[in-house]
Amino acid sequence: MPYRVTFVCTGNICRSPMAEAILRHHVEEEGLDVEVDSSGTGNWHVGDGADERTIAALDRAGYRSAHVARQFEDSWFDRYDLILALDEGHRRALRSMAPDDEARARIRLLREFDPEAGVDLDVPDPYYGGRADFDLVLEQVEAAIPGLLEEIRAGLKAA
């Protein structure tokens, strides 16, 4: 059975689809049995593709993405081994939706896996920004990938 990871941001068009594409690339490179997807806490962009600036940042870094935005549903908690919020607001929203302590324990902040992140673990929303803001998100996601892969490998061994 694959290990299942999902990323959650606000509208599922900027941060979470970027994180999804980057992690998917790395687990495929390693041949890990991991399913990766993403969603948003809100429904504003359901059915839309990723923001063109997200796609451009991914392209510049050599990642590919085919994405359709969706909203996280409270019935999904049992589907995932790890639910990664992109900022504290997303984590609070997810924790309030979680049916029990076991589900809440699977909700983490992505930047918890970056040992250099410091105290601010939020990935900033680049939506109202420009290229540099999207590139910063990409850098922050990539910085968390080694620690995240360690967590996933440990989860696969425990299964």
For the chain, the C-alpha Rg in angstroms (whole number) is 14
Q: What residues does 94 pair with on adjacent strands?
A: none
Catalytic entry in 4, 9, 14, 51: 9
Among the residues of the chain, which ranges form H helices? 15-30, 52-60, 88-97, 101-105, 131-158
Check 4, 15, 24, 111 and give the catalytic one: 15
- Active site includes 125? yes
The yes-or-no answer on residue 9 being catalytic is yes
Catalytic residue (one of 104, 108, 125, 133): 125
With tokens 């599922």, the residue in question is 12
Catalytic residue list contains 64: no
User: Which sequence positions are flagged as catalytic?
Assistant: 9, 15, 125
